[in-house]
Amino acid sequence: MSDKEVLTGGCLCGGVRYRVTERPMGVVNCHCGQCRRFHGHFGAYITIPREAVVIDAQDTLSWYRSSAKAQRGFCARCGSSLFWKGDGEALLDIAAGSLDQPTGLTTLRHIHVADKADYYAIDDGLERFPQGAPEPP
Ligand SMILES: [Zn+2]
Ligand SMILES: [Zn+2]
């Protein structure tokens, strides 16, 4: 992989396509109630500096204000859940499932496990945080 186009991804219908030009540390699974509803299960995210994300196609990209401090990006045509953007933050969270394969990434940790749903277990031995965890350095 080149440094300039490390990872690519997009929604189910192709209306939203993006490139990530900086390699993320890995994937973080968020088990909060908002992620669960937004994704239909827990949210698996990579975190990227906003200036390292290029959105090449966004005709169908729509944003939902999910809380007083954040918006969630999704495709208004196919319904794919794509982005989490905190107000005033220099980082963008991208749903790992929307990345084109192979990513070469691994899952790092679980966050907001205090809010996880009751129908699944977390048994992969990775670090767990009851609430959020510090952003990767
Ligand atoms: Zn779409
Ligand atoms: Zn969450």
What CATH number did the domain enclosing 101 receive? 2.170.150.70
Does residue 60 form part of some domain?
yes
What is the distance in A from the centroid of ligand 2 to the CA of 55? 22
The answer to whether residues 99 and 83 touch, using CB atoms and an 8 Å cutoff, is: no
Does residue 23 fall inside a structural domain? yes
Ligand nearest to the CA of 32: 2
For residue 46, the enclosing domain spans: 7-117
Flag whether 88 is in a domain. yes
Q: Evaluate whether residue 1 is within a structural domain.
A: no
Residue 75's φ and ψ, nearest 5 degrees, are -90, 125
State the average pLDDT over residues 98-107: 97
Is the previous residue joined to 102 through a cis bond, with omega within 30 degrees of 0? yes
Mean pLDDT of the chain: 94
Cα 2 to ligand 2 centre (Å): 31
104 C-alpha to center of ligand 2: Å? 23
**How many domains are there within the chain?**
1
72 CA distance to ligand 2 middle (Å): 11
Q: Is residue 137 part of a domain?
A: no
Dist. CA 97 → ligand 1 center (Å)? 13
Residue 104 in this model has a pLDDT that exceeds 50: yes
pLDDT range class, residue 134, cuts 50, 70, 90: low
pLDDT tier at 137 (50, 70, 90 boundaries)? very low
Helix (H) or strand (E) holding 82: strand 81-86
* Residue 123, domain member (yes or no): no
| Structural domain contains residue 96 | yes
Instruction: Kindly tell me if the per-residue pLDDT of 114 is higher than 50.
Output: yes
